[in-house]
Structure 1
Amino acid sequence: MYCEIVYQVTGERWGIFPRDTGEFQARMSIPDSINNSDSHDTIIKKSVKIEIMSCSFTPDEKSKRHREALAGLVDKLVKAGWEQIPEGGPEWYNIRFHK
């Protein structure tokens, strides 16, 4: 069984500086098959909500809040018995695990 951490936009906040709200999600992944990223039954665990400038589109590795949200999710997965594997995905937060 494998999972990978992805980022999902969950809403938006309007104002002078519009922001997207989102969360990191650990999703089940099945090697060599199509994984429906919109299916909620593939979500194992979620991070706390984070905000991103709407023009950025992706979490910032330099943001302390983004790193802490990711670290919190990684900690939840490890405590649930998931083991991190060395290979990761294309984004800095695409950490993969197996159980």
Structure 2
Amino acid sequence: MYCEITYQTTGERWGIFPRDIGEFQARMSIPDSINSGDSHDTIVKKSVKIEIMSCSFTPDEKNKRHREALEGLVDRLVKAGWEQMTERGAEWYNIKFHKEMQK
């Protein structure tokens, strides 16, 4: 099994400085053994909610709260038996993991 951490906007907060509310999500992809082109995409775990300035659109690696939310999610995945891979996605938070399937 494999999963990758992505970012998902889940809401917004309006005011003088509008902000997007979002979370990091570890999304698992399990290839379908009957038809290898199909996959079932599921969320394994989520981080705590974070706020992002609406003009930014994406989490900021320099933001302490964003880094802590990501680190917390990584910690929870490792404790659940997921192993971090060296391969990464395009964004700084796109960390990939793998886990042996239980039989």
Q: TM-score, normalised by structure 2?
A: 0.86
Work out which of the two has the higher radius of gyration on C-alpha atoms and give 1 or 2: 2
How many residue pairs align between the two structures? 95
Structure 1 runs (4+) deviating above 6 angstroms are: none
CA shift at 1:29, angstroms? 2.5
Structure with bigger strand share is 2
| Residue 45 (structure 1) aligns with | 45
Q: CA deviation at 1:35?
A: 6.0
Structure 1-normalised TM-score?
0.89
Which residue is equivalent to 1:87? 87
Q: Structure 1 CA distance, aligned partners of 2:28 and 2:64?
A: 26
Unmatched 5+ stretches in structure 2: none
- Matched residue type, 1:46: K
> % of aligned pairs identical?
81
Consecutive unaligned residues in structure 1, runs of 5 or more: none
SS in 1 for 2:45: strand
Aligned partners of 2:38, 2:50: CA distance in 1, in Å?
28
Q: Which amino acid is 2:48 matched to? A: V
- Post-superposition Cα deviations, 1:22-72, rounded to whole Å, max 9, x if no partner, equal 000000125785767xx6xx0000000000000000000000000000000
Partner of 1:63: 63
Q: Matched residues in 1 for 2:16 and 2:37: separation?
A: 42
**CA-based RMSD:** 1.7
